[in-house]
Structure 1
Amino acid sequence: MNKFGKYFEGKPIVVTGASGFIGSNVVRSLELAGARTLALVRPSSDLWRLQSLNQETSVLSIPLEDQHGLKKLFQIERPEHIIHCAAPIHLSLIEVDQLSHNQLIADNHLINIFKANNDVGGILASFVHICSSTIYDWSPDRYILSENTALNPATLRGKLKLSQLNTCIGLAEKNEIPLRVGRIFRAYGPWDFNDRFINRALNAAFGGAAVPLGDGSFKRDYVHVNDICNGILGLIEDNSLATISLNFGSGVDHSPSEVIQIIESILDRKIPVIRGTFPKNIMDRGRYKADISLAKSILGWEPSFNLTEGLKQTINWYKDFFKVEINDD
């Protein structure tokens, strides 16, 4: 169902990182809205998430290192908006030299995109950058995170995200392009198959390995990917927006144990868990959740799924896509 009227119909919109979890869902949301989507992927990308797309969507193998390919894309397709979902590969960054290397890659990608736009006369109406809640400074006594919360990442990956954001801000200001930033909290939903907690829980429910579960003292804000996509498209549709950052979360936090209990209730069965097996890491220090009041007031956006509804939808997708049933052995 198209929630955005006719605004997107036929509009050429580039999505980088289109083979990823959020990127592929953005592509499908743009399809529903009637856009002419240009989905950029690497030559080495696994395209399993981009199955059965319609003819208005073009999947293009153009790495963001390819300045000539990007310039040609802008010359031929004349995109009006870019949704930048691409990010350095998903690693637990441990060494500082990994951080520096990935910062250079991310910066180079952004520079190449803005240069391609400039080379064809500056045609972009907006640049939408997909960022992360990991950029925030938070602690057990300061856990409700608004767009005004200080930016002081606790992890090297968060520092990389913040560095990428700062580069994006500088390039957008220099080129006078409205920059609209979505700060994403804990995303889940269809087409996610990475090693995140909800996926591990679903795998365990359908016969996979037991889920390692800590003491449950920390809580996270889980937001369904469809709600994220509605927010991202809202950032494009509102032409009155200049440069702005908005949180996209649910505004509610849940512990891992609560997530397990909800999934067990939906499936009417126990999920095998192994308690006390996770070593503490820097992210396991209390709770955090999004203040989403600004997105509500500016875009009229709010999540349509609570966690129970979102997990029901995700489980139905999981069962249908992977053709699995509950293993009662």
Structure 2
Amino acid sequence: MRVLVTGASGFIGRNVVAQLERQGVDVVAASRRPLVSNPAVRFEPIDLLTPGASADLVSRVRPTHLIHLAWNAIPRKFWSASDNLDWAAATFALSRAFVDAGGVRAVMAGSCAEYDWTGIGRLHENSGIAPATLYGKVKDATRRAVCAFGEESGLPVAWGRVFWLYGPGEAADRLVSDVASALARRHQINTTEGRQQRDFLHVEDVASAFIAALHHTHCGPFNIGSGSPVAVRHLIEILAEELGGLDLVNFGVRPSTLGEPSLLVADTKILHETIGFTPRYGLESGLKSTADWWRNHVS
């Protein structure tokens, strides 16, 4: 078993690589940026948007298994970025090269943005699909094409729809990272009222879910989330108490997004009962690990 992980230097990717390496799996990390935190892992520098890059990578690595995470994830910009189309094409090329090389199983990253957010708040894999953004529309189209190709070619493909995530080392311009960074520095931070409820899962658990799916036989979409909704305000309060900065949070100063759904949460029956995944972190323990990282990072 040799696992190729694309997007290996990303937030989820580096956690996937670290866990596979600890499990003694032969893992190859592929990314545009070096995986500086894990020098023991074989690293393949590559830009999958370059024509022919996927075929060249797969021919060199000869992986049996694939976890494909690479995509545009620049905060706020990825929703409408035109290169979503390029990433779809790169995913198709990678899938074809993987099949041609005799690949055994692939797990790929989707998004909860593929769902219709105007309906019932608890989303299961058969819920309505009506993405509101270019990112969500392209992700859904990619899922349909790749899974159909997998059925025709005999490649089992699982598609993990990630909900909201957080954890140590998260990039800036995300909810948890922005709040934690400000409070660790004793800076004021302005937020919305935070009444909307979302589904948050620690990044290490998100990575573990992808790995669990890799070892399973499930094909098609599956949700990656906690299955438990939490008000954004409550999440911020827990994080602020961990960092001793509740007095620095100014709730309600920023306006809420017009038309934002009040509740979005994953149905996790397939993840838990079929795939057999159990998260390591609860919300409180996960936010504590995140607060500790930011406290040490600022120091």
Residue equivalent to 1:232: 210
CA distance in 2, matches of 1:219, 1:122: 44
Query: Equivalents in 2 of 1:35, 1:260: separation in Å?
Result: 37
Instruction: State the shift of 1:162 in Å.
Output: 1.8
Match of residue 8 from structure 1: none
Which letter does structure 1 place at the counterpart of 2:283? L
In structure 2, what residue type is equivalent to 1:301? F
1:245-256 matched pairs, under 5 angstroms: 245-256=221-232
AA aligned opposite 1:85: L
Query: Are 2:31 and 2:46, in contact at CA under 8 Å, matched by a contact in 1?
Result: yes
Query: Unaligned stretches of 5+ in structure 1?
Result: 1-10, 325-329
Give identity over the alignment, percent.
27
C-alpha contact (below 8 Å) 1:30/1:37 kept by paired residues: yes
The amino acid that maps onto 1:87 is: W
Structure 1 stretches of at least 4 aligned residues deviating more than 6 Å after TM superposition: none
CA distance in 1, matches of 2:188, 2:145: 41
Kindly report which structure 2 residues correspond to 1:132-143, keeping only aligned pairs within 5 A, or say none.
132-139=111-118, 142-143=120-121
The CA distance in 1 between the partners of 2:188 and 2:135, in whole Å, is 27
Task: Pick from 264, 274, 289 the counterpart of residue 298 of structure 1.
Answer: 274
Partner of 2:20: 30
How far apart, in 2, do the equivalents of 1:279 and 1:158 lie? 24
Name the structure 1 match of 2:59.
Answer: 75
Q: 2:153 aligns with which of 175, 194, 198?
A: 175
Contact 1:155 1:282 in 2 (8 A): no
Shift of 1:60: 1.2
| 2:75 and 2:173 in contact (8 A); partners too | no
CA distance in structure 1 between the aligned counterparts of 2:61 and 2:151, rounded to whole angstroms: 24
- The answer for the alignment partner of 1:244 in structure 2 is 220
Secondary structure of the corresponding residue to residue 285 of structure 1: coil
Shift of 1:111: 2.4
Aligned to 2:83: 102
Provide the rounded CA distance (Å) in 2 between the counterparts of 1:272 and 1:35: 44
Separation in structure 2 between the aligned mates of residue 156 and residue 244 of structure 1, nearest angstrom:
21
Contact 1:103 1:164 in 2 (8 A): no
Q: Which residue of 2 aligns with 1:123?
A: 102
Deviation at 1:89, TM superposition (A): 4.4
1:93 CA displacement: 5.3
Q: Deviations over 1:231-254 (max 9, x none)?
A: 11111112xx15232111111122
In structure 2, do the counterparts of structure 1 residues 157 and 280 end up closer, same or farther at CA, with 3 Å as the change threshold?
A: farther
Given candidates 112, 116, 128, the residue that maps to 1:150 is: 128
| CA deviation vs aligned residue, 1:78-103 (integer Å, no higher than 9, x gap) | 101111101124253599xx55x324
Residue 249 (structure 2) aligned to one of 236, 252, 273: 273
Determine if the alignment matches structure 1 residue 14 to structure 2 residue 4: yes
- Structure 1 position 68, deviation (Å): 4.2
Deviations 1:272-316 (A, max 9, x none): 223334344367220111111221111221322111110111222
CA RMSD of aligned residues (A): 2.3
TM-score (norm 2): 0.90
Distance of aligned partners of 1:292 and 1:32 in 2 relative to their CA distance in 1, 3 Å threshold = same
Of the structure 1 ranges 154-163 and 303-312, higher mean CA displacement relative to structure 2 is found in: 154-163
Give distance in 2, aligned partners of 1:214 and 1:303: 29
Provide closer, same or farther for how the CA distance between residues 283 and 313 of structure 1 changes in structure 2, counting only shifts above 3 A. farther
Counterparts in 2 of 1:159 and 1:296: CA distance versus 1, 3 Å: same
SS of the residue aligned with 1:165? Answer: helix
Number of aligned residue pairs: give it: 299
Task: Name whichever of 293-302 and 271-280 sits farther off.
Answer: 271-280
Aligned to 2:48: 64
The residue that corresponds to 2:173 in the other structure is 195
The alpha-carbon distance between structure 1 residues 154 and 212, as it changes in their structure 2 partners (threshold 3 A), is farther
Indicate which of 240, 253, 267 corresponds to 1:264: 240
Determine the C-alpha separation between the residues in 2 that align with 1:94 and 1:23. 17
Deviation of residue 208 (structure 1)?
5.9
Counterpart Cα distance in 1 of 2:78 and 2:171? 23
How far apart, CA to CA, are the structure 2 residues paired with 1:316 and 1:221?
22
**Secondary structure, aligned partner of 2:284:** helix
| Structure 2 unmatched runs, 5+ | none
